[in-house]
Structure 1
Amino acid sequence: MADVIDDLEAEHDAFEALLDELSPDDWSAPSAAAGWTVTDVVLHLAQTEEAIPAALAGEISGVEWRRFGDDVDTAMDAMVRSEAATPADIFERWRSARQASVRALRAADPGRRVQWVASTLKPRSLATTRLAEHWAHALDIAVPLELAYPDTGRLRHVAWLGVSTLPYAFGLEGRPAPALFCDLTAPDGSSWQFGDPSAPSSITGDAAAFCRVGAQRLDPAASGLRTEGPDGEIALRLLRNYAST
């Protein structure tokens, strides 16, 4: 489990470096997350990181979002609205939370599932979801402010998350999970492959675009990704690498 937690910590480091670049005006600027400023995005990440140690200890059932709304998006927005603070305080709150969450993940029983948002996850998968969320929200900050946030090999975890949750996504549509092969080109030009190459349906193309589609930061039609077979196109449409309910 150490590999993904190491990469989560590296993603945290990259995110912190991005925040260190921000001017005071940047913190109040609109992010690419609808309705949220940059400060709101960081507060959301702090709130959700803070829930990890308690969830892993069995003290709470993950992020207790149902107290704030009937669906995840509405609840997360209400949570952010309930705890306004200065950018400096929120930055420090996130720093403390990210350190505590990594410590808790490293100490966790790797085989014990815990409740997290809409499902139960083992610690490795939980670490992967946190990496994916920090990466996606880093884009929400970097893109509108025209700041650099380079794609890295850590996106392999994000791509794996998208592929591994497709059966759940198909189930929500009342469809059986199809056999699917994904052949994705990594940021360094290597190939990341998921699934059976003989599967009747496939998705091929840029891994970073695949991850952005899964984060709903890129329209599938604009991604340049290629689909084949009876289920390739719908798989790309249903692709998600975050929790929902």
Structure 2
Amino acid sequence: MSETASGTGTPRATATAFVEECEDLDALVADLSASDWARETPAVGWTIAHQIAHLAWTDEVALLSATDPEGFADVAAEAAQDPLGYVDRQAEARAALPPAELLAGWRDGRRRLADVLDLVDPDVRLDWFGPPMKPRSMATARLMETWAHGQDVADTLDVSRTPTDRLHDICHLGVRTRDWGYLINGKEAPAGEFRIELTSPSGAVWTWGPEATDGAAGTVTGSALDFCLVVTQRRDVARTDLRSTGAATEWLTFAQAFAGAPKGMRG
């Protein structure tokens, strides 16, 4: 898919963006009281502790994929028996830890993952719960998930986060996973690309797809923030200012930039 916006370009830069996103979320939760850690978030049944516990577990599993493929295969096989239940159980177990211990584990795991993603062969494909991906894509996926769960935490705390141009990689992932969303929802993806034009937090315009909009299967325009909120399923498109035409209008109702079941199958 063509893409004219300037990206971070290297696994190291994307891993750095992942670390920076983690640090921003860390600042939101580091000084929370025990009662705040137990506050319910928009994810049904998950507290703030569950959100951080999930990120800590997922970072560790990503590290396992990069350093011990056979070990990751064992985890993936176990998870495949009950995908949603398995993820919830992992979050539940870590959420029960004292906040200081949970934070320490998350901080250590994300640091080790970032270090490994800096060093691993950039062309190797790392196994995952969805399609295998290269290290830069893995770093982008971790950035995306950290940002998305951070949004859940921010919403719970009624905090308005200042968006950064780290959103570029999340937007790019949202575009690149277009056909994944169609696949898991049992729909046929359009043959043509969409034209996507998003305004970045810094004011630049990021674009993907054919330059001539009349050659696209659909179009999406609006802010990068709104697009990220939609493809991570943190906001319904109707609650944003995104504008769309053609097949892109339906796509925005189920777009999904992350591995896992489609939202109609999640609890």
| TM-score normalised by the chain length of structure 1 | 0.92
Q: Name which of structure 1's ranges 19-28 and 131-140 shifts more when overlaid on structure 2.
A: 19-28
| TM-superposed deviation, 1:118 | 1.9
C-alpha distance in 2, partners of 1:11/1:130?
9
Displacement after TM superposition at 1:32 (Å)? 2.0
2:30 and 2:103 in contact (8 A); partners too: no
Q: Provide the rounded CA distance (Å) in 1 between the counterparts of 2:104 and 2:26.
A: 10
Q: 1:20 to 1:187 in 2, by over 3 A?
A: same
Corresponding residue for 1:143? 155
* Among 235, 241, 244, the residue aligned to 2:257: 241
The equivalent residue for 1:212 is 229
Does the aligned pair in 1 maintain the 2:229–2:235 contact within 8 Å? yes
User: In the alignment, residue 194 of structure 1 is paired with which amino acid?
Assistant: W
Name the residue aligned to 1:175.
188
In 2, distance between residues paired with 1:167 and 1:106?
28
Correspondences of 1:150-169 after superposition (within 5 Å): 150-169=162-181
Letter in 1 for 2:99: P
Name the aligned partner's letter for residue 176 of structure 1. Answer: A
2:48 aligned partner: 38
- Structure with bigger RCO (C-alpha 8 Å, 6+ apart): 2
Task: Give the direction of change, closer, same or farther, for the CA distance of 1:135–1:39 in structure 2 (3 Å limit).
Answer: same
Tell me how far apart the structure 2 counterparts of residues 63 and 77 of structure 1 sit (CA, whole Å): 18
Give the distance between the partners of 1:69 and 1:79, measured in 2 at CA: 14
Within a 5 Å distance, the mapping from 1:91-106 to structure 2 comes to: 91-106=103-118
For residues 120 and 221 of structure 1, the distance between their equivalents in structure 2, rounded to whole angstroms, comes to 32
Aligned residue for 1:205, secondary structure, equals: strand
- CA shift at 1:66, angstroms? 4.6
Query: Deviation string for 1:184-243 (max 9, x for gaps)?
Result: 1111222111111221410111110111011111011121211112x1212212311211
> Which residue does 1:185 correspond to in 2?
199
CA contact (8 A) 1:182 1:202 kept: yes
Of all paired residues, the percent bearing the same amino acid is 30
Q: TM-score, normalised by structure 2?
A: 0.85
**Which of 22, 26, 37 is equivalent to 1:16?**
26
Q: Work out the CA distance in 1 between the residues paired with 2:217 and 2:189.
A: 14
Distance 1:179 1:224, change over 3 A: same
| Distance of aligned partners of 1:63 and 1:208 in 2 relative to their CA distance in 1, 3 Å threshold | farther
The match for 1:81 is 92
Query: Displacement of 1:113 after TM fit?
Result: 0.4
Q: Distance in 1 between matches of 2:210 and 2:15?
A: 27
Mark the CA change 1:8 to 1:205 in structure 2 (over 3 Å): closer, same or farther. Answer: same
Structure 1: unaligned runs, 5 residues or longer: none
> Higher mean Cα deviation, 43-52 or 122-131?
43-52
**Structure 2: which amino acid aligns with 1:238?**
F
CA RMSD of aligned residues (A): 1.8
Distance 1:18 1:112 in 2: 34
Judge conservation of contact 1:50–1:101 (CA < 8 Å) in 2: yes
Aligned-residue offset at 1:69: 6.0
1:168 aligns to what SS in structure 2? helix
For residues 80 and 126 of structure 1, what CA distance do their matches in structure 2 show? Answer: 20
Deviation at 1:107? 1.1
Q: 2:238 is aligned with what amino acid?
A: A
The C-alpha deviation readout for 1:2-21, integer Å capped at 9, x for no partner, is 22112111111111111224
